[in-house]
A and B are shown apart, each in its own frame.
Chain A
Amino acid sequence: QLQLQESGPGLVKPSETLSLTCTVSGASISTTNYFWGWTRQPPGKGLEWIATAYHGGSTYYSPSLESRVTISVDTSKNQFSLKLRSVTAADTAVYYCAKSLSTTFHPNWFDPWGQGVLVTVSS
């Protein structure tokens, strides 16, 4: 079945760029109507959606993070990535990647999710 696995540094210095990759197995990242997204969860807090992308090039971003975030899809590697620039301690969180499905280009729900990766922003 479809599985997702996040990977990337667990520690990032303030003002630097956080880079994460999600490897998809069990399905092609280019499958029609499959979208790919990132959500994060600061320790002890709730979920915050970051971005969603389609293999065809469409990307959607949280208005609160849009100026610092880039999501991209690499069909050759069956992976998608997240870059968050100019990080601060407030960006410390567990970052999850997940698949969405929409036949109307209104991706909103996510299933399944990766196990998540804790990224700490600290010098």
Chain B
Amino acid sequence: QSALTQPASVSGSPGQSITISCTGTSSDVGGYNYVSWYQQHPGKAPKLMIYDVSGRPSGISNRFSGSKSGNTASLIISGLQAEDEADYYCSSYRRTNTVIFGGGTKLTVL
């Protein structure tokens, strides 16, 4: 099954805001409000940052937010900090009861 489409890389300066997009189809991103986002630092396990499009788990900074329009979901990171530099993956529920990940986006903090 084809992965969700993410940009390979994005960058921003400290304090700025960046957006990472995640494009799917009506069978996944567009069809359900079940998009999640993960942060992964090198050598570490993924960490859930956003669930159900815009939900934020306990302990996750409110600098991280999510949204969706049609078949494209977005992760917005505001007030960029050096520690935000990592790989980010989107994920979506896809019918029926399967999960699909995006290819990942490398965020560089300049």
Question: By the criterion CB–CB under 8 Å, are A111 and B98 in contact?
Answer: no
The interface-forming segment of A17-25, A45-53, A69-77, A78-86 is A45-53
| Interfacial residues, chain A to chain B (CB-CB below 8 A) | 37, 39, 46-49, 52, 60-64, 96, 105-116
Provided the pairs A108-B36, A108-B93 are in contact, do residues A114 and B45 lie with their beta carbons within 8 angstroms? yes
Question: By the criterion CB–CB under 8 Å, are B104 and A47 in contact?
Answer: yes
| Interfacial residues, chain B to chain A (CB-CB below 8 A) | 1, 3, 32, 34, 36, 38, 45-48, 51-52, 57, 89, 91-93, 97-104
Contact of A106 among B3, B93, B101, B104 (CB under 8 A): B93
Which residue on A lies nearest to B96, using beta carbons? A60
Alpha-carbon distance between A46 and B105 when the two chains are bound, in angstroms: 9
Which residue on A lies nearest to B99, using beta carbons? A49
Contact of A108 among B1, B46, B47, B92 (CB under 8 A): B92
Chain A residues lying within 8 Å of B38, measured Cβ to Cβ, are 47
